[in-house]
Structure 1
Amino acid sequence: MRTSLPHLPVIVLAALVALFSLVPLGFIAWVTFDVGWETVKTLVLRPRVGELLLSTLYLELLTIPLSIAVAVGMAWLTERTDIPGARLWAWLAITPLAVPAFVHSYAWVSLVPSMRGLAGGTFVAVLAYYPFLYLPVAAALRRLDPAVEDAAASLGLAPVEVFFRVVLPQLRLAICGGSLLIGLHLLSEYGLFAMIRFDTLATAIVDQFQSSYNSPAANMIGGVLVGCCLFLLALELLLRGNERYARVGAGAARPAERRRLGRLALPALVLPVGLAILTLGVPLVTLGRWLWVGGAAIWDSEVTRAVGETLLLAISGGILATIVAVPMAWLSVREPGRLQRILEACHYYVGSLPGVVVALALVSITVRFLLPLYQTFAMLLAGYVLLFLPRAMVGLRASIAQAPVELERAAMALGRTPAQALRQVTLRLAAPGAAASVALVALGITNELTATLMLAPNGVETLATRFWSLTSEIDYVAAAPYATMMVVLSLPLTLLLHAQSKRTIGQ
């Protein structure tokens, strides 16, 4: 498909953003070439890296299957059974996302100081991340055609057989997508596992960075971590397969009947009630306890300052990431083509990279070539744009797709340039989606820890970094207000995700 000349400036802008998003991968490749193959072998093939790789692998192999079991079980109970309080449990199933992962670990380490190692890390990771699987699985269950299950039942299959032979295979895409998201989070997570005292590739990179900010060892471990991310992406693509999951017709309009649990209703409540206690009860009780111990004195001016700086960075980063995403979002809807798909992939892939790798790349580049930009707001915002560009793209694409292209053409017929038509017509109609993108990015920045630790200017402390510095000193009382404010600021994200998951199925 040939590109029309008026769209060339938009393509150029999208290409520049795509090139910028390739900086982390380019940095890893350049460092590998720069240090030489012998140094790469020495740093990568040493026993310590092997131990970290095995630890990370064990974490993935334990956490993902457990999260699948918990998420699918919860989704089935809340969407397909008459369990008492189904709507409440459905909402509570996603609210753990309002609690940052490292706050989950803070709550559990405060309650059980002996919680350490792989078992502790897996336990907390499942509690923190299973909602990433619950959301797509629950949405998929609501979209399934109940006639297929009725046909299977009419052929003599028992309910359990219908679930495993008919329903579960249709959840494959949702399970693969959610599992990939959890797997990438496990690779990139630092705070949760550092507090649990469980070493992973991400924690090792941060440790190396703190001891020597431009360490070749940290750069090489970053390369290993990027390789793990690419492997996960390829594995998810392989497991997803090419099977068809949609039917030609619209399917049955009626919703699936909720199965009566009868005497099993009370035993079935064990899962949602237990999860609510473990994911929400423990963090809230722990925070309440430390807030009570500290009293009003811990709510000092430092908390207010951290809230202000967090909001400033979050709003600035959210607006900037959304603006940067506009050219590609518009092209993907209005001018789809092979080149546009390649550029779009560059925009999205960076969301799969760990924040520690993105930050490491920006730190090393600024130190070597752009020293005046080292530890500046500009470089911190650049890191946020890279990390959260996919979030901005999702909301913008959907909202631009809903803005009629005929209105753009009418504006250009009346003398507007393509840029003016985009700004004055399409973006105004897409404003709600753009606002949602800003909110999603801003709330992601609110809870971001690793990149902020590595890129923030001296003296700048967000809620996350201030919380981390205090917990590192085992001052759990003083850290409680910062954790509380992060949860309060994250609640809108939970509500937004819940509302979006409902809208996707027309409810």
Structure 2
Amino acid sequence: MTSIPPAHRDAPGGRRRPRWTAGRPPAVLLVPAMVAAAVALLPIAYLVVRTAEAGAAGVMETLWRERTLWLVLRSLGLAAAVTGSCLVIGVALAWLTTRTDLPGRGTWAVVAALPLAVPSYVAAYAWISVVPALAGFWGTWLVLTACTYPYVFLPVAATLRRVDPALEEVSRSLGRSALRTYLTVTARQVRPAAAAGALLVALYTLSDFGTPSLLRYDVFTRVIHTSYRASFDRTPAAVLSVVLVVITVAITVAESRTRGRAEASRVGSGAARTPPTAQLGRARPLALAGTAAVAAVSLGFPAVVLAYWMVRGSSAGLEWDRLAPAGAATLWVALLGALAATALAVPVGVLAARHASRGGRLIEHATYAGHALPGIVVGLALVFFGVRWAEPIYQRTPLLVLAYAVLFMPAAIGSVRAAVAQSPPRLEEIARSLGQRPADVLRRVTLPLAGPGIAAGFALVMLTVMKELPATLLLRPTGMDTLATRLWTETGVGAYAAAAPYAVALVLLAAVPTFLLSRVQSRMVAPRGTGGILEEGHVVEETGGET
């Protein structure tokens, strides 16, 4: 047994302090993370400028309106309702498809992830065109819940597959019931993943524009958009956007405190076997019916309505000269947006998982600020930025990609942070004790271990970029159309049958990263073997606590 390396003997009381995970974050993480935060805060700077132009009197006049209070209550109420229902559905489906003898659970796991491929405004159009009475709160809640519960399902399912079954077996051997074991052991290990998914659901609900607009339910996004379109004075809309940002920051702080100091990593690879399967018994038909009902509401109904419009409409013929270029442009900008957002998210996710300092939390919270802004606000902010300071990229692809990075960086950060938190930090400590620099530890240990989570974040951002609408409408290069913009154009003039081919193509195209995301998440399990790392051609193993 070797002695404790000097790098680990500087903590008071004789405790070991790893240089990699304690103290000041290395520059290889801190500098890129600060750049990511600066990019995310760019639209906030625009809002500050616009709000300052109103002066204190104008700001207070907007804030103290009775309508502003109602907007806060309605937006928060909708976000709370959607998040709560997504937590229930997502966690239940994750448990059924990973831990029970549900018939066809592998197929149901893929089906449960597919609603991410359905843009919320497409689902809203499908429901409102058939059931007009759904307009309002209940319709908006139904559509957003059906489209966003996979944000909870995917990370929770991945965590349930990765949790070491030995911990649950020990709990059962001590006489605890299955329910108490789940609440005290399993639930505590999936809590960070569930909290990260719930945060994405809440932020998506606060920032969504298409669904509340089609279902005529006034929330911040719809009112801000109306204010921008109805008046040359955009200051009131900027003030409302600032209120929305404050709400977002409050939610991210609450999620961070809910996540707490939960540990989800293992020292080694754990047990190289699957967890025990729970027998549903008489509850199997009920579980199967519930799973099928969720799939019918989130996938079946929109698919039937789109097929109806494709067949019924006389103008539903395929215009390949428009459809093919729009599909190619959608893929291209989605790929670029996912690359940019993931590259910015990796240092922030690692910083949040490994350096839980006040500065690290501040940077993480800053990156979430842009995600809660409506796409039109981010788009207008970058138009302002492009015209004033970045004219060479104005109405060019780079400015559009920058908007995607601001809007969807948190989706990748959540996946990266969860993956890094679940990888054993002791491997990084060993690498540092062997003289490796922080950059080498990051490149050769941390990132490979978090690879599945990074890939999942990339697929999630690519999927979300494909469905983005308001910022794309404002910032797309001249002459370029995506499937989302073509769909919105046809729907805006009432040509539902002509819009159907673009909606179907968008759903089918988005199904590819959705399927890949589901497969990547299913493979997010602990590394096999003895828990060693390859370092300069040698394997460093951990056995019995000795190195």
What range is the shorter-chain TM-score in? 0.7 to 0.9
1:272 aligned partner, one-letter code: T
Confirm or deny that 1:208 pairs with 2:227: yes
From the superposition, tell whether residues 41 and 363 of structure 1 become closer, same or farther in structure 2 (CA, over 3 Å).
farther
CA separation in 2, counterparts of 1:163 and 1:339? 32
Confirm or deny that 1:34 pairs with 2:60: no
Confirm or deny that 1:292 pairs with 2:308: no
2:236 aligned partner, one-letter code: A
CA contact (8 A) 1:147 1:252 kept: yes
Aligned to 1:484: 504
Residue deviations 1:338-394 (CA, integer Å, cap 9, x gap): 899589648843563334342232234446666786655443233123224456778
CA contact (8 A) 1:15 1:343 kept: no
From the superposition, tell whether residues 362 and 351 of structure 1 become closer, same or farther in structure 2 (CA, over 3 Å).
closer
CA-based RMSD of the aligned residues comes to: 4.5
CA contact (8 A) 1:11 1:331 kept: no
* CA displacement at 1:43 relative to structure 2: 1.4
CA separation in 2, counterparts of 1:153 and 1:170? 16
Confirm or deny that 1:51 pairs with 2:70: yes
Farther-moved stretch of structure 1 (125-134 vs 7-16): 7-16
Q: How many residues align?
A: 493
CA separation in 2, counterparts of 1:364 and 1:173? 38
Aligned to 1:172: 191
CA contact (8 A) 2:51 2:235 kept: no
CA contact (8 A) 1:75 1:134 kept: yes
CA contact (8 A) 1:60 1:186 kept: yes
Aligned to 2:321: 301
* CA displacement at 1:213 relative to structure 2: 6.0
Confirm or deny that 1:503 pairs with 2:519: no
From the superposition, tell whether residues 341 and 63 of structure 1 become closer, same or farther in structure 2 (CA, over 3 Å).
closer
2:78 aligned partner, one-letter code: L
CA separation in 2, counterparts of 1:164 and 1:438? 32
Matches within 5 A, 1:96-495: 96-154=115-173, 157-212=176-231, 215-244=234-263, 252-294=271-313, 297-318=317-338, 341=360, 345=364, 348-349=367-368, 352-356=371-375, 357-366=377-386, 375-389=395-409, 441-457=461-477, 459-495=479-515
From the superposition, tell whether residues 319 and 175 of structure 1 become closer, same or farther in structure 2 (CA, over 3 Å).
closer
2:331 aligned partner, one-letter code: L
Residue deviations 1:446-504 (CA, integer Å, cap 9, x gap): 21112112333565432112212222333221111111111121112112211221232
1:446 is paired with a residue whose SS is helix
CA contact (8 A) 1:214 1:364 kept: no
CA contact (8 A) 1:184 1:352 kept: yes
* CA displacement at 1:114 relative to structure 2: 2.0
1:361 is paired with a residue whose SS is helix
* CA displacement at 1:94 relative to structure 2: 0.7
**Structure 1 gap segments, 5+ residues each:** 406-418
CA separation in 1, counterparts of 2:511 and 2:160? 25
CA contact (8 A) 2:312 2:497 kept: yes
CA separation in 1, counterparts of 2:497 and 2:242? 38
CA contact (8 A) 1:21 1:346 kept: no
Matches within 5 A, 1:5-44: 18-44=37-63
Counterpart pick for 1:84 among 72, 93, 103: 103
TM-score, normalisation: structure 1: 0.81
CA contact (8 A) 2:40 2:370 kept: no
CA separation in 2, counterparts of 1:78 and 1:271? 12
* CA displacement at 1:294 relative to structure 2: 3.1
CA separation in 2, counterparts of 1:244 and 1:13? 25
TM-score, normalisation: structure 2: 0.76
**Structure 2 gap segments, 5+ residues each:** 1-18, 21-25, 429-438, 528-547
2:90 is paired with a residue whose SS is helix
From the superposition, tell whether residues 180 and 11 of structure 1 become closer, same or farther in structure 2 (CA, over 3 Å).
closer
CA contact (8 A) 2:483 2:502 kept: yes
From the superposition, tell whether residues 18 and 69 of structure 1 become closer, same or farther in structure 2 (CA, over 3 Å).
closer
2:143 is paired with a residue whose SS is helix
Residue deviations 1:43-78 (CA, integer Å, cap 9, x gap): 122122222111111112211111111112212211
From the superposition, tell whether residues 445 and 165 of structure 1 become closer, same or farther in structure 2 (CA, over 3 Å).
closer
CA separation in 1, counterparts of 2:393 and 2:124? 34
* CA displacement at 1:165 relative to structure 2: 4.7
The structure where helix makes up a greater share of residues is 1
